[in-house]
Amino acid sequence: MSHPLFDLTGKTALITGSSRGLGRAFAEGLAQAGARIVLNGVNADRLETAAQEMRDQGFDVLTSAFDVADEAAIVAAFEALDAEVVDVDILVNNAGIQFRKPMLELDTADWRRVIDINLTAAFVVGREAAKRMAKRGRGKVINIGSLTSELARATVAPYTVAKGGIKMLTKAMAAEWGEAGIQANAIGPGYMVTDMNEALLSNPEFDAWVKGRTPMRRWGLPEELAGTCIYLASDASNYVSGQIIYADGGMISVL
């Protein structure tokens, strides 16, 4: 039996960008802790396939297809959940994209697209969720940062800026929403085995760099982030707010 502090039975969690990758891992972890899950993505068919796979495991899963870069669609999605009496107790702002190009060659449109999806979307979705959480006097917002919330790498400037912004957005949310009973925290994953990192995983030189730079000498697995997410979503973290927890195999702690 799980410890009651980590039991999410009766809670509903919305995870953006959750039909696959890290978002799917967060969804499955929260479901295993007892939460009802609302999967999100832009591809309705892929979203429904993911939902059915989770239902086949015995989990309670809904879907909400919307583009996190479309503010009107976000507002409409929350209004649709309201109409169905689905109260979001836990929000995981996971949706994100990567774009690799040196800054001297980077178009402003590509810069804005990465910032919009990785940072602005977290604010807009977070705002809509928090409006409703505040009325109930409780809620958990979990933003997904990165090692680049602290450190920069060449060719990923907009991603680095967005993830640095996630760190401070999390603190701003904690500062403004704490009195309403909402805790806002973030997770900063290290290098993980995901579709987004497929090109890096298949690059022998980069693979060797990651393993050599990481004290645990390996890439992380998406499911290894689930425990941190459960902790931040549960009553176990009720007095923790404005923090970012790095789950990176120790990479950010060493030179």
pLDDT at 39 over 80: yes
CATH (domain of 102):
3.40.50.720
Residue 1 has pLDDT above 60, yes or no: no
Q: Is 21 left (phi over 0), alpha (psi -120 to 50) or beta?
A: left
Tell me how many domains the chain contains: 1
- Write down the catalytic residue from 159, 191, 231, 246: 159
pLDDT value of residue 221? 98
Residue 62 lies in a domain: yes
Q: Is residue 94 part of a domain?
A: yes
Whether 193 maps to a domain, the answer reads yes
Inside any domain, residue 252: no
Q: What pLDDT sits at residue 2? A: 67
pLDDT at 55: 98
**pLDDT score recorded for residue 68:** 98
Q: What confidence category does residue 17 fall into, taking pLDDT thresholds of 50, 70 and 90?
A: very high
User: 46-87: per-residue pLDDT in tens?
Assistant: 999 999 999 999 999 999 999 999 999 999 999 999 999 999
159 assigned to active site: yes
Q: Which pLDDT tens digit goes with each residue over 164-221?
A: 999 999 999 999 999 999 999 999 999 999 988 999 999 999 999 999 999 999 999 9
Is residue 41 a part of any domain in this protein?
yes
What mean pLDDT comes out for the span 112-136? 98
Range of the domain at 206: 4-247
**pTM score above 0.95:** yes
With respect to residue 20, please indicate whether it lies within any of the assigned structural domains. yes
What integer is the mean pLDDT of 35-52? 97
Q: Is residue 149 part of a domain?
A: yes
Write out pLDDT tens, residues 130-166: 999 999 999 999 999 999 999 999 999 999 999 999 9
Residue 253 in any domain: the answer is no
What local confidence, expressed as pLDDT, does residue 195 receive? 87
